[in-house]
Amino acid sequence: MTTDYFKRVESLNCWEHTIHCEPLEGGITNRNFLVEHGNEKFFVRLGVDIPEHGVYRFNELAASRAAHKCGISPEVVYAETGAMVLRFINGKTLEPENLRNISTLKKVVPLLKTCHQQMPLYLPGSSLIFWVFQVIRGYVNTLKESKSRMIQKLSRFLEINHELEKTVGTIDLFYGHNDLLSGNFIEDNNRLWLVDWDYAGFNSPLFDLANLASNNEYAEGLERELLEMYFENEVSDDLWKRYFAMKCASLLRESMWSMVSEIYSTLDFDYVQYTAENLERFENTFAEFRNI
């Protein structure tokens, strides 16, 4: 961590007093900091647009503000190009095992429904779409142009992507978070917050559900409980097949996100290992999908 990032945080125009700034671990897209300013604490995110991942900070800012208005995310108190300052939530960042707890899951489902159904009421007129199958097609093009080490596998990934998209079929369009890693949930005084809106956009709710389950390694029984809670109905064979296809797409997208990050990211993170881990999980899940 160089002093340049600290100087960037210190230079933000929102500070009236001298600040104390500490780096926070965990970000693999942004540089994150805890700032003490007088008697208040703030969370500062430094990050520019990442076109190769479809990350645009105007979209993240709009989603963050809308999520706060819905009561599911902390307030954005200041933003300028490349930086966003939010109120600090003094809570516990969840781990995957927390999200596999049924009592926590019962809090997650209404949080997601608020995101899906209410956030469009507070967004600007124009907003991005996150259609995972198009994201994957874009990653294939980027990896080809960049001569990725995985280039020989891309044709197969495209064929699988087409099969999965066809299986998902017609969707109901809602507004999704689209990056439901455990680290994006914070528990504070028996309530949950949802943070980090880099990939927010209109999508099928099936993607957030599949993304939540795949990122946090749900067993089948818990997956079915998640779907029953969300849709308030029994899980039909058709829904299960479509959901499973979306879970495969989520894992393939995460794998290809990492492949692209191997080439473009400047953060100190072992993307090659992350690619290998996610590809193994994708292949295992896709083999299960073929047997449904």
Domain ranges of the chain: 3-87, 92-290
Using only the alpha carbons of the chain, give its radius of gyration: 19
**Tokens coding 263:** 């080439």
Residue 242: which of 289, 180, 175, 181 has the closest Cα?
289
- Kindly indicate whether the domain formed by 3-87 is annotated with CATH number 3.40.309.10: no
Spatial CA neighbour of 114 closest among 63, 182, 67: 67
CA distance to 12, 27, 38, 124, 177, per residue, from 16 (Å): 10, 27, 9, 30, 33
Q: Give phi and psi for 176, each to the nearest 5.
A: -110, 155
CA-closest candidate to residue 2, choices 266, 263, 183, 272: 266
Nearest to 101 by CA among 239, 216, 17, 194: 216
CATH 3.40.50.620 fits 92-290, yes or no: no
Residue 25 has a pLDDT of 77
- The whole-number pLDDT of residue 5 equals 87
Residue 66 and residue 63: Cα distance in Å, rounded? 5
pLDDT tens per residue across all 292 residues of the chain: 567 888 999 999 999 988 999 998 766 678 899 999 989 999 999 999 999 999 999 999 999 999 999 999 999 999 999 999 999 999 999 999 999 999 999 999 999 999 999 999 999 988 999 999 999 999 999 999 999 999 999 999 999 999 999 999 999 999 999 999 999 999 998 789 999 999 999 999 999 999 999 999 999 999 999 999 999 999 999 999 999 999 999 999 999 999 999 999 887 889 999 999 999 999 999 999 999 9
Backbone angles phi, psi at 127, to 5 degrees: -150, 155
Collect all residues with Cβ–Cβ distance below 8 Å to 269 and sequence separation of at least 6.
28, 261
| Per-residue pLDDT at 26 | 66
Element (H, E) at 83: strand 83-87
For residues 174 and 157, the answer to whether their CB atoms sit within 8 Å is: no
Q: What is the pLDDT of residue 27?
A: 65
- Residue 138: the pLDDT is 97
Please report the pLDDT score of residue 28 as a whole number: 65
User: What token pair was written down for 256?
Assistant: 């290809």
